[in-house]
């Protein structure tokens, strides 16, 4: 088993998705991740269901949502609003490398647990703050959720059917992608800061904002605007810079056609028995096809309706033109390529038995990541962590339980 981050300890003080996703990614890479949760409810997403995963008797359950972002972690239920809880947290910080939190700006500083407080305890600490709008600026004190930021960051302005078409209107992405991307950027930033610490011995405060990440990930759409001064618009499944590159109806279902260059288009035109298209000046180059898409797309659509999706997929595969079906999640997990890649794994949960998980997409040639800890039950590891890392004695532990500082 390959654990490249086995020497790293992470305190995950985040909830919901962005922070937990960053921490889970580090856990998959072998880091020891300690999830700090509120006694009682724990992470908000533990109750975000249905669906839930339950044991045979129904006495224990966890939401599928929570299960998606908390693999590989130890759970410590700790009340940081109490001085004793703050003292314990600082003890853990003194022996940690990375801390991830997504409280509102200044939220942890109220408890003496902000970056300026904790760097006194551990000058080498990498302190990652995740908020909707960042640690500074006129919107910094606002709460930010993925859906809101997909809208404010421009993502929804280019997602959905074009005006004038059936079902027109802005749409959010079907998964909290802004949270996921922020989690990944946070992991990249934290590992970069660790690399810098090896040279400087200094920690740092990383300021991650969902809005910043969304704008950065608009990629070519953002550059299209900056170059032209014209805001991109919703185009359904069409691509603003490549044609043909969208969903087409066949005789039985939709397929995706993704023609990425002129050579592919020439082969595409041959398969659909429209070789003349690849020689027509209006369609011969991608730039020309983008300019004349309104004329070209109906011609392609008419031809593709003549055969089934499977027939087209096989025909295009033979000549190297990218084409594929639009799979639902069931079809994704039964797909032979997905099964070969080991996308689905099973893990043993402390109270729920065997549970399914989606494996990390990070793969190292000839090596396998270690998946040894299922998403934890709330407070599952409180005693172990506080005894081994915070040096809490059995007598002190009992007192903390009685006072509900820990659970």
* HSE-CB for 90 with a 13 A CA cutoff: 21
Which one of the listed residues 179, 207, 212, 381 is annotated catalytic? Answer: 179
For every residue of 266-308, DSSP letters joined together read HHHHHHTT-GGGGGSTTTSSHHHHHHTHHHHHHHHHHHHTTS-
Strands (DSSP E) found in 233-392: 245-249, 254-258, 323-325, 344-349, 353-358
CA distance 37 to 16: 11
The tokens of 391 are what? 């040096």
Q: How far apart are CA 251 and CA 253, in angstroms?
A: 6
SS3 129: strand
In 107-185, DSSP assigns E strands to 126-131
- DSSP reduced 3-state for 3: coil
Placement of tokens 């003349």 in the chain:
276
Give the pair of three-digit tokens for residue 293: 């898409």
Q: Which tokens belong to 284?
A: 């011969």
Q: How far apart are CA 372 and CA 370, in angstroms?
A: 6
397 with 386: CB under 8 angstroms? yes
The secondary structure element, H or E, covering residue 188 is helix 177-200
| Active-site annotation holds for 252 | no
Q: Which residues are catalytic?
A: 179
């Amino acid at each position: 088993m390959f654990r490249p981050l086995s020497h790293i300890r992470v305190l995950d003080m985040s909830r919901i998705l962005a922070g937990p996703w960053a921490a889970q990614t580090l856990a998959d890479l072998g880091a020891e991740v300690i999830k700090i949760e509120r006694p009682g409810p724990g992470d908000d997403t533990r109750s975000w269901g249905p669906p839930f995963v339950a044991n045979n008797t129904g006495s224990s359950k966890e939401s599928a949502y929570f299960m998606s972002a908390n693999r590989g972690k130890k759970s410590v239920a700790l009340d940081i609003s109490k001085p004793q809880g703050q003292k314990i947290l600082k003890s853990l910080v003194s022996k940690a490398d990375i801390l991830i939190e997504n409280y509102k700006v200044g939220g942890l500083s109220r408890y003496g647990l902000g970056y300026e407080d904790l760097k006194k305890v551990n000058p080498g600490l990498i302190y990652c703050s995740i908020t909707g709008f960042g640690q500074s600026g006129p919107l910094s004190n606002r709460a930010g959720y993925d859906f809101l930021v997909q809208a404010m960051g421009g993502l929804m302005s280019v997602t959905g059917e074009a005006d004038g078409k059936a079902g027109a209107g802005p749409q959010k992405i079907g998964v909290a992608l802004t949270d996921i991307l922020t989690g990944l950027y946070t992991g990249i930033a934290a590992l970069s800061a660790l690399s810098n610490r090896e040279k400087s011995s200094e920690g740092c405060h990383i300021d991650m904002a969902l809005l910043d990440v969304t704008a950065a990930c608009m990629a070519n759409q953002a550059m299209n605007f900056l170059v032209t001064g014209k805001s991109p618009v919703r185009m359904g499944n069409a691509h603003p810079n490549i044609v043909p590159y969208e969903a087409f109806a066949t005789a039985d279902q939709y397929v995706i056609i993704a023609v990425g260059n002129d050579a592919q288009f020439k082969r595409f035109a041959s398969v659909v028995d429209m070789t003349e298209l690849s020689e027509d000046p209006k369609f011969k180059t991608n730039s020309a096809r983008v300019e004349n898409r309104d004329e070209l797309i109906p011609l392609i659509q008419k031809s593709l309706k003549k055969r089934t999706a499977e027939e087209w997929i096989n025909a295009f595969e033979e000549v190297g033109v990218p084409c594929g079906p639009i799979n639902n999640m069931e079809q994704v997990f039964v797909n032979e390529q997905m099964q070969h890649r080991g996308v689905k794994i099973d893990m043993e949960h402390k109270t729920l038995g065997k549970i399914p998980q989606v494996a990390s997409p990070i793969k190292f040639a000839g090596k396998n990541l270690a998946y040894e800890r299922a998403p934890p039950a709330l407070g599952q590891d409180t005693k172990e962590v506080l005894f081994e890392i915070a040096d809490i004695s059995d007598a002190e532990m009992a007192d903390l339980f009685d006072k509900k500082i820990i659970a």
